[in-house]
Structures are given as C-alpha cells and as structure tokens.
Structure 1
Amino acid sequence: MKTVKTTACLALLLGATAVSVPAFAEEASKAASTTNVEIIAGDDTNEIIDPIEPPTNQKGPLVIDAVSSFDFGKIKLGTLTKEAVVPEGKALGVQVTDKRGTGAGWDLSASITEFQNADKTKTLKASVKIPAGQVNTSASDSSKAAVASEIILNSTAGTVFSASKDNGMGSWSDLFEGNNQKVELTVPSDAYVAAYTATINWSLQDAPK
C-alpha cells in the first residue's frame, strides 16, 4: 500500500505540472529607435560644497569657486607660531570646479607677497603653512579624486591642489583644517611691532604639472 500511494501522488503532481505550462506568443513585428544627446562644457557659477568664504562668483568651465583669506589676529612677541582664526560656522579652504568634460586635469598653485605694514616701511619675515587638509566632492565618482598638498607659502608659486588626467572632474574642495590640521603663521623673534598684510595669489592652470 505504501508504494501505491507514493506512485499516485507523483502522478498527480506531474499531471498538474503539465497542465500549468504557458503558451508563448510569437513575435509579430519589431523595430528600433535612437536616442541622442550632446554633452557640452558648463559655464555657470557653482554651489559651494563646504562653508568656504568668500566665494569668487566666477563663471566658466574651470574656475576657483571660493578661497579663504587668513586672519591670524594679534601675536605677542615671544610667540613663534599662531593658528589662523576660523570664523564661526565657516571653514578655511578652497574649491575648484572642472566642467570642461575633457579629463585634462588641472593644477592650483599659490604664492605670497611680503608682509608689510600700511606705509610699507616695515616687513615681516613670516611664513604661512597650509596643510594638505581634507578633500571633499560633489562628484558621483569620488575615486577619481583631486589631491591636496601641504605647502609653506613663499614668493614662488607651489601646488596646493591638483588633479591628474581623468581625475578631479566636477566640484572639489580642500578643507585646509580638516583631519585636525591647522593653517599656521610662524614669525621670527626679531619682528617689529606693527600690523602687517600680505597677499596670496592663487593660480588655476588647465593641466596638471
């Protein structure tokens, strides 16, 4: 009896399977259509990723969107190193956007003039260090990143931020004080009392060095 019951169940199952096989319709006709798009370089102003001020409001396919000024406040003689003051709710850094769509890469360099007082009778032999910081992006592929470099500014331009071929497309920011780093001013012990100002010149080249 046991064998008979098993065989009957199998027969019912197989029968149910055979009945459920669907019938497939034959293709009566087919066609093909096309879809087209042309990508062109962008030239609008760009959204600032991080709270870096001031914005430059520059337009174009390859631009510096924002770059910080540095305020070191007051330094007492005898203090050799001072960190830059960060405004509340803001960040020190620079942002570059590449909307050329060529993958050519780019190089952002900086140089600094002498620190001078208002009537240019005194100079300060100080140095400013910008750390490599933290790189952020709005690009969809963060693996093709721009690279930040530490630099001690002087009269000769040096690379701060760069992108090799096929990298750095889209908007990229370098937060100078990311990763617990600081923008620092070092002053000599023989400095004269005065208020000093220097100008940092930023230059964005359309190809990596």
Structure 2
Amino acid sequence: MKKLLLFNVLILSVMFLNDKEAFAAEIGESKKASVILTQDESPGANLLSITQASNLNFGSKSITLDDLIFKTTEASTIQITDLRGSAPGWRLSVSLGEFTSTDNKKLSGVQMFYPSANFSTVEGAVNSDIRKPVSVTNSSDISFTDPNVKGVLLSASSTPSSQVLINAANEKGNGQWTATYALDNSIELKVPSGNFAGAYSANLTYTLTDGPSAT
C-alpha cells in the first residue's frame, strides 16, 4: 500500500512541472521600425561642392643648368562634399594656367604632377571602403622623381586643358571626402632650365562635375 501511494505522488509532481513549462512559453508580436532620409531640396542648396582646396607652395631653388624639380612644402588637400541622396557619382578635373611674375615675365615648359591621393571621410561613415573615390592614373604620366609612380601630368599654359584628377563612380563618393597629398606623396613641379629668376604664380583651377568619368 505504501509503494502505491508513493507512485501516485510522483505522477502528480511530473504533471505539475509540465504545466509550469506550458505557462512559461514566450508569446511574441512582430512590428516594424521605419525612417525616411531626404536630400535638401531648398533653392540654392549646395549638394555637390568643393568645400576646401589648398594653395600650393613649392618654395625656392637657385637656377642651375638642369631642370629644377620642386615638391610642395606642406601637405595639401582637396575636399569634396556630396549630399545628393542618389549618389550618382562625380569627377574632379584640374587645369594649370601660365606662371607669370609681378613684372610680367613668364615661365616656359612648366609641368605639374599629381600622384595618387590618400582619401579619408568623416568618422563613423558606413561602408567607407566601398564608397571611396579613386585617383586617376595615366600610364604615360610619371613622377619627375620616381619612374615607378604614375598619376596625372599637367602642362602650364595660357590656354590650359583640364585633366580628370579624381573619379567617383555611381554610388561612390557620397558624403564628404578629403584627398590628401602628404609630404612623402607630394605634388611635384618641374621648371626647365633657361627660365629667368623671379617670383611666379599661376592659376590652378579645380572643376567638379556631376557624374563620373567614362574612363
């Protein structure tokens, strides 16, 4: 009789535990979170712009019988901001005017070389490696100091032609990007021998165009 009673108590205990597990089952309900991103459509909104560009200082050297090769005396930057919601891409071109002195002397045969830039964007920007623009390099445009370094070569002229310097393909280059030419990767200037002494300057023109380059 005692064995039978003990058996019944165990049965009841097991049934009670199973009931507790049934009541502890999770009950969930699915909802959605939503957000809308828009671009500024107000009149005059500057959605694609050059927000910063450095003047270039190449310092001073004495005239010799050889061509003079200069490098910028400090790091230089170009900053592009693209706030368009569709990120259709863009291209940045550059042209170099004629070097002229205050007494109207002109330098002949001057060339400028841009190596590939290092790019950075705002801290915390998502997918920055995927969205990064690229520096253009032409196979025939070579550094004056290192034949293994390719980039973009400009010729100074009173009627300068533009060269594409940076290209952002479709869905790239959105947000804010800074191209940096550090001292160990600087922009170069070559002044051929035979030019007169003097202090010279030229207009360096950057042009930002909607849409990437085809090349």
Please confirm whether the aligned pair reaches a TM-score higher than 0.5, indicating the same fold: yes
- Is this contact kept in 2: 1:111–1:157, CA < 8 A? yes
Matched residue, 1:111: 95
Q: Does 1:152 align with 2:153?
A: yes
Distance 2:19 2:25 in 1: 17
161-170 or 137-146, larger mean C-alpha shift: 137-146
SS at match of 2:112: strand
Matched residue, 2:68: 80
Matched residue, 1:100: 84
42, 65, 69: which one aligns with 2:55:
69
SS at match of 1:75: coil
- Is this contact kept in 1: 2:71–2:186, CA < 8 A? yes
- Is this contact kept in 1: 2:98–2:106, CA < 8 A? no
Runs of 4+ residues deviating >4 angstroms:
24-27, 30-36
By relative contact order (CA 8 Å, sep 6+), the higher-ranking structure is: 2
166, 173, 177: which one aligns with 1:161:
166
Distance 1:125 1:17 in 2: 94
TM-superposed CA distance for 1:41, in Å, is 3.1
Distance change >3 Å, CA 117–CA 104, structure 1 → 2: same
Distance change >3 Å, CA 202–CA 26, structure 1 → 2: closer
Provide the alpha-carbon RMSD of the alignment: 3.3
- Please report the TM-score for the alignment, with normalisation by the length of structure 2: 0.71
Matched residue, 1:181: 185
Distance 1:169 1:120 in 2: 42
Distance 1:22 1:132 in 2: 66
Unpaired runs of at least 5, structure 1: 1-10, 44-58
Q: Does 1:170 align with 2:172?
A: no
Deviations 1:26-80 (CA, angstroms, capped at 9, x unpaired) = 98xx89788563512388xxxxxxxxxxxxxxx7100001001111111111262
- Between the two proteins, what is the percent identity of the paired residues? 25
Distance change >3 Å, CA 103–CA 33, structure 1 → 2: closer
Matched residue, 1:23: 23
Distance change >3 Å, CA 31–CA 130, structure 1 → 2: closer
TM-superposed CA distance for 1:156, in Å, is 1.2
Between Structure 1 and Structure 2, the one with more strand by share is 2
SS at match of 1:123: coil
112, 115, 121: which one aligns with 1:137:
121
Instruction: Report the number of matched residues.
Output: 178
Matched residue, 1:41: 40
